[in-house]
Structure 1
Amino acid sequence: MSVSRHPVALRLEQQVGSATRLLATVMALPLVDGIFPALIIAGALDSPLGILETGLLIFGGSATVAVILAEMDGSRREQVRSVLILGAILLPVAGVEALFAETLKSVLDFAVFHRFAGLVILAVAAKTASAKVGEYLPSSSIIIGLGLVASVDLNNASLIIDPNIETIAQAVAAAGVGVGFALIVALFAPRLRGVVELDRFRFGSSVALGMLALDVLGLLPTEAPVALGVLCVTAVFAYDPDSPTVGNSVAAAGHAVGSDRPETTASETVPSSSSPSESTPGSTSSVGTKSNIAASVDNVERESHTADTESDSDSGETGYGFPDDSDSHAPWL
């Protein structure tokens, strides 16, 4: 994804493309890969808190938040309409899967399948936290398939004609919680976009999923909704009202561009100021060379003038002769 970089949503975005279809794929994924029927069989929806945890973490979760806040365009009304249409499809499908889950209960060893249900939630939590780790883990459908093979027991197999209405209602309620969560995020999306740290919420949601998996496996020595508590704490820590908005980011970028000009001017003036200092040694050496040449010429001229004076004194001639050639020794001086 271009903004949120959520590992699960990024992988699905490369397959489906559109933001609305991406949201539909993210929220319908538990119904497709077998996570939701596994939770129904494992008894994760037997209590109201279990329904709330499953709806928020399985159908809602960080991937749904990331898609709505980071990828969906359009007005608030259009986003709400998309979520409502998606909910009208998810709720009946969840009820139908709950109906088949009742039949699956009669052909499965509950104790064995219970462990695979916890493992598939742990795998989803790991993939949510890190895309690199998710590359080495099998998909949820493979884990569910292995669980079905390992726990199948055809001795008590039976086709249930009279389904349990309570189980179907629990499944529809869990899907309704997820749709309601997505609807709330879509309603408050304009405000949440500038104050929610998506990566922080993603990591916290993965921890909450891990707690839900431990609860399904029966490894938590408490009946308290630990996963729901972790999700609430994650929402608090992910809320960052001081996070810069798009306008502030643009203004900051403009200020940064304006502040670079003095630095550029200073950097440009530094070489110009250093150039005289760099040329000073060269000019000094050239002046010294010229002075040495002039001194040598003066010495030669002085010696020749002395020699001419001595020759004139020796010959006894007066000063009426031709001018002295010493004036033409150095015409450039």
Structure 2
Amino acid sequence: MSHSQHPVALRLEQRVGGAARLLATVMALPLVDGIFPAMVLAGTLSDPAGILEVGLLVFGGSATVAVILAEMSGSRRERVETTLAVGVVVLVLAGVEAALAPTIESLLDLAVFERFAALVILAIAAKTASARVGEYLPRPAVIVGLGMVASLDPANAQLVLVPDPTLVLRGLAAAGTGVAFALAVAVTSPWLHDAVDIDRFRFGSAVALGVLGLSVLGLVPDDAPLALAVLGVTTLLAFDPGEIDEEPDGTTTEETAASATADEETDIGPDRAPWL
């Protein structure tokens, strides 16, 4: 069920040149676009639940799952090695950005910036749910940039030469959670390839991201990890292990699913629901 390539993924893969670079682009995008620093400054890593939410939804979201299952080829070992190599880079960059967070924090009015951080999360959720909706929304980097301009408070600016070790560890833990999730997907990819409905997982991930954004805004209680609960339900609904069982006529449902996917692509074409 998960082996159909989405047009958005194909365009991005052509632009970056290969599935390995595509995975690096997807997992490092929160670091490049400023999404991860925004979440660090918004206080979303203040507890274990927040660390898990950021790790699973931002670094290990539906786009990461789709790249590993639908875009990457080769053996299980090759997928694991590629994912691990990308994960090391992500961990290093996440640690550096978490170390710089106190310096950035001294430049901003966090009460204002947190609202923009929540808007970033909601925008990503909308883009994940629908590419058509995403066409009308600004890029996350633009929202982060506007947030920094609106909340700029240079009067209290100071260069923090000694990073906050607790904050760095939390940042590494969040990135490590995403990398561990990606590695788990790579290890089990031969089975998950035909047991996961990526479109269903993508939409559920978008809902979970939306809940996380609303919690940052204070519109939903943050004392319960609702985003994790939504993600858990999404994972269960996206699984259909029966798809890889053998059919009565001797063919496997893997072959049946491949045939059905080809029919769907013929009937539906490039308007399939996006995952990026």
Query: Could you tell me the TM-score, scaled by structure 2's length?
Result: 0.87
1:242 counterpart SS class: helix
2:119 counterpart SS class: helix
1:73-132 per-residue CA deviation (whole Å, 9 max, x = no partner) reads 000001100111111111111111011111011010010000000000101000000000
Question: Which residue in 2 is equivalent to 1:50?
Answer: 50
Pick the structure with greater CA Rg: 1
Shift of 1:16: 1.1
Question: Which residue in 2 is equivalent to 1:114?
Answer: 114
User: Does residue 156 of structure 2 align to residue 156 of structure 1?
Assistant: yes
Assess, with a 3 A threshold, how the Cα gap between structure 1 residues 116 and 252 changes in structure 2: closer, same or farther: closer
Distance in structure 2 (CA, Å) of the matches to 1:220 and 1:6: 35
Equivalent runs, 1:1-333 vs 2, <5 Å: 3-5=4-6, 7=8, 9-10=9-10, 12-243=12-243, 245-249=253-257
Assess, with a 3 A threshold, how the Cα gap between structure 1 residues 2 and 221 changes in structure 2: closer, same or farther: closer
Distance in structure 2 (CA, Å) of the matches to 1:163 and 1:203: 37
1:154 partner amino acid: P
Higher relative contact order (CA 8 A, sep 6+): 2
Indicate if the aligned counterparts of 1:4 and 1:199 stay in contact, CA closer than 8 A: no
Provide the identity percentage: 60
Assess, with a 3 A threshold, how the Cα gap between structure 1 residues 55 and 250 changes in structure 2: closer, same or farther: closer
Q: Aligned Cα RMSD in Å?
A: 1.9
2:241 counterpart SS class: coil
1:133 partner amino acid: V
Distance in structure 2 (CA, Å) of the matches to 1:42 and 1:230: 21
1:162 counterpart SS class: coil
Distance in structure 2 (CA, Å) of the matches to 1:117 and 1:10: 29
Assess, with a 3 A threshold, how the Cα gap between structure 1 residues 6 and 50 changes in structure 2: closer, same or farther: farther
1:144-180 per-residue CA deviation (whole Å, 9 max, x = no partner) reads 0000000000111100011100000100111000000
Shift of 1:249: 4.3
2:224 partner amino acid: A
1:270-290 per-residue CA deviation (whole Å, 9 max, x = no partner) reads xxxxxxxxxxxxxxxxxxxxx
Shift of 1:218: 1.2
Indicate if the aligned counterparts of 2:3 and 2:69 stay in contact, CA closer than 8 A: no
1:239 partner amino acid: F
Name stretches of at least 5 consecutive residues in structure 1 with no aligned partner.
254-333
